Structure 1
Amino acid sequence: MQAGCHRKWAAGIDGNRNDGAAAIVLSGGYEDDEDLGDEILYTGAGGNDPNTGKQIEDQSWENPGNAGLRLSMNQGLPVRVFRGYTHKSKFSPQSGYVYAGLYSVVDAWQETGKSGFKICRFRLLYIGQNEERKTPESIELDYSNRDKERKGTVILRIVRDTKIAHDIKELYDYKCQVCQFTIITKSGKYAEGAHIRPLGKPHDGDDNPNNVLCLCPNHHVMFDKGLFSIQDNLKLIGNVSGELFVHHKHKLNTLNLQYHRKINGYN
């Protein structure tokens, strides 16, 4: 606070739902935090006992700090990260606080924490310019069930195996399973393959047809952001009503549907 880098006294998140999150501090206050250096699995604010670090009640997306981090994720706003001496990590200082650099919030979900209460989790990746550290483009996602392929473009990035998504889109003739709309471009029909249970850690979803939907861009973003989810009977819940259309040759894994509902607060 004295340096003007973090403006919330005794709070881990400097942010709100209108402006996003400017900074976070890792100070050992939450037992579910995981600090991997260039990757951080950060526990949101609220519901913990400040003396023990254990959760004593559920966290909520309505918390201003949690809402701020979600806005930063949605708008691609960088977040300053600090580590304090009470944070148990090999990256923490022996005393005081240290600036860890700029990070990007790339994922947000809910899960049950170690103490049995719902917590808001955020995945942050380092995006600073220090050449001794990895850049976001060099941090590989872990596709545990399929091979990875690297290709060089302007930057080095992970290229997903798109054959499964392509086959699903072909099955639906590029028609969104939610709105039944097909986008016609100058180069042909367009739709997107959406994974129900996200790929990569910490979700570890499988790149399998039973985990892929054919969606238009709008409903893909809405689904990924948790604005709606799908019940086991294929009824849509949340900000979208109706029923998911499923081709008789397309078998969905209901465990993935249950996982999507759980991390987005529908259970």
Structure 2
Amino acid sequence: MERIFGEIEGIKEGHIFSNRMEVSLAKVHRPTQAGISGSQNEGADSIVISGGYEDDKDFGDIIIYTGHGGRSNETGKQVADQQLKRQNLALAKSCLEGLPVRVIRGKHKGSIYSPNEGYRYDGLFLIEEYWRKKGKSGFYVWLFRLRKIKNLKLIVEESEEEYKSKRVPTQIQRIIRNTNLSRKIKEMYRYKCQVCDIQIETSSGYYAEASHIKPLGTPHNGPDSLDNLLCLCPNHHVMFDFGGFSIMENFEILGIDAKLTIHKDHTINPKYTKYHFEHFYSEQNRTDLK
């Protein structure tokens, strides 16, 4: 069954469900019991917060969410350490990939933000960070900080051709990135930087960043397409964005001693590398070339 990241068609924020089965049938949160919907390979697409874990903290637009596992069904207390695996690893994956998470709040007395009855869909959140600490019962838990996405409707498209730099009008105009393309470029290179070939390993998997050669935002208006993307480590992503190095139309690297790795299935459009060179490569470096 395909996992859906982002909004569910026909379900608006504030929608009330009578029970978990209704939530599941609407595809907002498929599990009828588990609080986290996701897999460690794909990421987490939704969570339910209903006061089940003593270390949860709900501040409305910010949620400190306790991971899964180690809780007694009888007392609700932690009786064992949590591990960064399965659903917890799914949340960590969403944090690394920047995937949106649907939040559903259930009725409980511990939060002024919970509904009076049933379950309520409360919109999309991003996981900002996660960490491990000893909880109230003295056992280690994994905590995830979620922040609500405001004034922004996330759209995930399946077709690359249909998804070309979509813009959504809000209080200001912002570009909605295709998370499928970001994941595709990283998986193509096995999360290895195309410049230094480094593969960064974290407690929840490999980490890399998708970098647009011609930026999406105004005034550049580059496309959100595979031929305008690179898979880079954080260091080379920052260096590239700020002109520390550039790429010629023949894909040679200027500014640093490195060679660009290009996968056989990855076609890079040279007009985008030319644009980056003309707009971001420093004048000093250009002078040094003469």
Q: How high is the TM-score relative to the length of structure 1? A: 0.48
- The structure with the largest alpha-carbon Rg is 2
